[in-house]
Structure 1
């Protein structure tokens, strides 16, 4: 590991060169609990095109030398899918006023170095520079406490998110389907949103 990891904030076509590495990183990190995601490169590369097409989206890259070891994505909620916007519409929020901090992925050996804090700061700064937002948001999957694949040493990130100023909003829930590592078919999962005022 290099002494210092560099941070690069990218938007639009500048992201194109990083897509294959980002797709691989997402598959690697999201295999772990709580996501247990059995992903594939074709789907991931197509999914990441959303961030190239939307000029207001951002991807924050963490690099050790020229190697991507982490990444964090963000996009105005109005450019997300209908199932992600609907809970906000139902509860009286304007999706155009919400900046969605989509996900952060980081290789295990680089955790605990403050990069997660930096990821939130960079995405929030990007949203403030765009202007017009009232809320930052993200969502996370809900798994049962007795899930058979839950590691004994698993610690939810709730305290970390609270420290960043975010609050859990159980009324804001959507559902998203993917195939778990221990399952043969996709199943729907509940995803609960967290909010922070800009």
Structure 2
């Protein structure tokens, strides 16, 4: 496990337009960390390449990497919601909100031994700043919803809900949607319930 001094020595790269091989690092982290509860994601290199193509092609997309020396140990992605899949855009339009005015945080990932050290906040600080750069008033993040008695929930697991709410994000159940992926143990992909938390820029920690 890294010491406090080691985590203070981490560096952060903020990339736009040309992500290059950095997307491979995001794919690696997604395949590793999203396989765990609550996402239980059974991903493949092919599905990751398709998903991350959004960030490679979308105007305004941003990638933040956390490095310990040369090794990438964390990543956060952000993109204007209008460039994301229809399942994520549709509930905003139904609520009278323009996806072109929303910065969507795709994921904020840290290798397990680097979690609970304040580094997730540092990743999000840099990603949320993109909303100010693009003059977008809203920032949104979505989380999969699991029952409290889910059989695969590890003992002591903590939802990231309190973390994002401390940053000013507000739960918005009226924006509920579904995303489809293959879960560990599933024979086929199936829809999973997703809930949004939304931050109004200037009311939380966003720059």
TM bucket (normalised to shorter chain) is over 0.9
Paired residue for 1:161? 164
| Shift in Å, 1:19 | 2.1
2: CA distance between counterparts of 1:46 and 1:100?
Answer: 18
Paired residue for 2:31? 27
- Asked whether the 8 Å contact 1:27–1:40 carries over to 2, the reply is yes
Q: 18-27 or 83-92, which moves further after superposition?
A: 18-27
Q: 181-190 or 25-34, which moves further after superposition?
A: 181-190
Paired residue for 1:9? 14
Paired residue for 2:64? 60
Residue aligned with 1:16, SS: coil
Paired residue for 1:37? 41
| Shift in Å, 1:20 | 2.0
Paired residue for 1:77? 81
Say yes or no: does 1:93 pair with 2:66.
Answer: no
| Residue correspondences, number | 196
Paired residue for 2:147? 144
| Shift in Å, 1:174 | 1.1
- Asked whether the 8 Å contact 2:29–2:74 carries over to 1, the reply is yes
The TM-score normalised by the length of structure 2 is: 0.91
CA RMSD, Structure 1 to Structure 2 (Å): 1.2
Q: Which runs of 5+ in 1 are unaligned?
A: none
| Shift in Å, 1:122 | 0.7
Residue aligned with 1:116, SS: helix
Cα deviations by residue, 1:91-146 (Å, 9 ceiling, x for unpaired): 11111111111111110011122111112211111220121x12111100001111
The TM-score normalised by the length of structure 1 is: 0.95
Q: 2:134 aligns with which of 123, 130, 134?
A: 130
- Asked whether the 8 Å contact 1:69–1:107 carries over to 2, the reply is yes
2: CA distance between counterparts of 1:45 and 1:27?
Answer: 11
